[in-house]
Structure 1
Amino acid sequence: MDVKDFYYDLPQELIAQDPLEDRSSSRLLVLNKETGEMEHTNFKHIIDYLNPEDCLVLNNTKVIPARLFGEKEGTQAKIEILLLKRKENDIWETLVKPGKKAKPGTKIIFGQGLLVGEVLEVVEDGNRLIQFSYEGIFEEILDRLGQMPLPPYITHQLKDKNRYQTVYAKHDGSAAAPTAGLHFTPELLEQIKAKGIRIAEVTLHVGLGTFRPVKVENVQEHHMHSEFYMVTQEAADIINETKKKGGRVICVGTTSCRTIESAAAEDGTLRECSGWTDIFIYPGYQFKVLDALVTNFHLPESTLVMLVSALASRENIMNAYETAVKEKYRFFSFGDAMFIK
């Protein structure tokens, strides 16, 4: 399977640079995964496509303001770091720019000394392990000094940090937002619950590898980054009961999809669990739990385009994307949505 099979031509101006004023006013392309038929509507009408026996699976991870700007001790050279993974004792795996200024032993000063980082070692992919020292609570200092780690294709400054956060975000740990969830408002979620649709919350902390391009020609040779996930007993029960009653399990976002597909037993049942997953879903994959998916429009040749193609077929997805370009849908993180049913 060639990575070029998942290419489509996207005009630069269709990449959404800013979130809409009203989260639920984005457009929604509804795609029938069997027939390839499409409908065009507004996201707030997604409720019309959900049935009382269905269940929505949400990823309740919270993005941390993981981008920090500091100065190298002694030279005042500017250094930018991105927090990737918390290790232990205030040690984080980070991405550092420019890397050549961050040799082991280097100290980086943030916020006039509110936070100090010392580079311990260089690890895989040129990432740095940095130990932080500070007084007070790390999360509060991060909230003060850090910026949201917006994807590289978004060049505008984000005025409100919360707009790169779902309204149901709870557990700190992501370097990127589960963006399909950005379309939901508290009001829309209440209406969905009132219709009898159950909500199951799972957690997957999204890593920056989600933006890593596929560098191999043969899709099967690509190695996915690993991400931490958690499924509670409550969420497992809701999903298992939905399946038993013949309802659909509808994931909001590819991260929720990867979580439940990683956690499921071969027979599609779930139980409370947590761990790391590097599951890679591409055409040919047999879904164990997922029936339908709410998702955004993804980058050409990305693992996420491959995942949605596994659900609805490459041909149907490429047709839908071509239509979305023609109809001038907004693409990527702050863009419009698709419901694959």
Structure 2
Amino acid sequence: MSNKELLTASYNFTLPDELIASYPASPRDHAKLLVYDRQSDTITHSYFYNLEKFLPKDCALIFNDTKVIKARLFGKKPSGGKIELLINRALNAHDINVYIRGKVKVGTELYFEEKLTAKVSKLNDDGSREVNFYQHDKLLRFEDLLPIIDKIGHIPLPPYIQRADEDEDANEYQSVFAKEEGAVAAPTASLHFTPEQHTRICKNHKHAYVTLHVGSGTFKPVETDIITEHPMHSEYYDISPEAKIILDSDIPVLSVGTTSTRTIEFYARNKGQIKGEANLFLHPNNKPLRVNHLLTNFHLPKSTLLMLVASFVGLEKTQALYAEAIKEKYRFYSYGDAMLIL
């Protein structure tokens, strides 16, 4: 492996603004699909509705069934000034890790609709905060908070989608098989499946679900010069009994998305741990052990997600695939097009 593959600068690229997708393809499965076959070293340009034509017959698909919550809240400080709060993740039943726009001190209370308040209990070095939520002065558990924010919160569109969320985003920024509430970012490779296509594929292929509650750390660029020095964020995961059976077998696995991939690969390295915190960083120096094929979107420069792609095909091929996608005007990031690595 070359030293270049360990340099963060190697994962930078220039993307024309017009290739950042602000809205999804409609219908979902009309997104473009770049298929790269490693054995024949060939690229095929297609559409997501043709996915089944490319799926290896004997592979099992693993999906992430996490559900995006309305994690962005707009409220007021005691002074009356406006505040924006982004829920990142539940640390336990009552302590919630959040990001708050603007200065707040420990002890500050923030006020939202539906008589919801958040009290700041801790300021963290990484810029995040810890808060406890109350309604009518009653301390709320995370699961009791969810129906309230579903009413008053907003879908937390990623920072590069430079617009406010719209009503349609509540459906579009969610996979058709989303079930377990807790993510603040969607597992984006999943967004392309229509209900019909998902049902059809599941009928013809072994499949199972894992849960990884995607946190906002997924968008954090690598800021160290050497990628292996990057402190990887951790996220809650849970592997279903059906997924465990597949992963413990020798059936080839096609992972739907980088989040499923990190979950599967964390489990492959920590057998027996079917739930907990996953903080695995896949890159060319830490290649996949269990996943054979990857379905994914096109990711941000210098992101751990781009480095994960390079763990499958190497840095040079990743650069070549991304150059090809830019040349062919593929749409990038969360609402963008897809790539299948065989």
TM-score, normalised with respect to structure 2: 0.92
Aligned Cα root-mean-square deviation (Å): 1.6
**Deviation of 1:232 (Å):** 2.0
Q: Deviations over 1:27-78 (max 9, x none)?
A: 00001234532000010111011233211110011111100000012x1100
- Residue 184 of structure 1 corresponds to which residue in structure 2? 193
CA contact (8 A) 2:282 2:288 kept: no
Q: Give SS of 2:321's match.
A: helix
Deviations 1:247-268 (A, max 9, x none): 42000000100001001158xx
The letter of the residue matching 2:71 is A
Identify which of 64, 77, 82 aligns with 2:81.
Answer: 77
Which residue identity lines up with residue 258 of structure 1 in the other structure? Answer: R
* Count of residues in Structure 1 that have an aligned counterpart in Structure 2: 329
Shift of 1:138: 2.1
Does residue 131 in structure 1 map to residue 160 in structure 2? no
Q: What is the rounded CA distance, in whole Å, between the counterparts of 1:336 and 1:27 in structure 2?
A: 5
Offset of residue 90 of structure 1: 3.2
- Name the amino acid aligned to 1:176: A
Q: 2:57 aligns with which of 44, 52, 56?
A: 52
What is the CA–CA distance in structure 2 between the aligned matches of 1:286 and 1:7, rounded to whole Å?
A: 20
Q: What is the letter of the counterpart of residue 68 of structure 2?
A: V
Structure 1: gaps of 5 or more residues: none
The gaps in structure 2 that reach 5 residues or longer are 1-5
Selected match of 2:35 from 14, 30, 35: 30
What is the match of residue 198 of structure 1? 206
C-alpha contact 2:95 2:130 (8 A) present in aligned 1 = yes
Question: Is 1:109 aligned to 2:103, yes or no?
Answer: no
Q: Which residues in structure 2 correspond to 1:105-184 (within 5 Å)?
A: 105-111=107-113, 114-134=115-135, 137-156=144-163, 157-160=165-168, 161-184=170-193
> How far 1:272 sits from its partner (Å)?
6.2
Identity of aligned residues (%): 40
TM-superposition CA deviations, 1:259-292 (whole Å, max 9, x none): 01001158xxx65611112111111323211000
| Counterpart in the other structure of 2:91 | 87
Name 2:229's counterpart in structure 1: 221
Counterpart of 1:238 (choices 234, 246, 251) is 246
Describe the SS at the equivalent of 2:305: helix
Rounded to whole Å, the distance in 1 between the matches of 2:248 and 2:55 is: 18
TM-score, L = length of structure 1: 0.92
CA contact (8 A) 1:233 1:272 kept: no
Q: Which residue of 234, 259, 262 maps to 1:258?
A: 262
Contact 1:105 / 1:120 at 8 angstroms: preserved in 2? yes
- Given residue 68 of structure 1, which amino acid in structure 2 is its aligned partner? L
Is the CA contact 2:208–2:240 (under 8 Å) kept in the aligned structure 1?
no
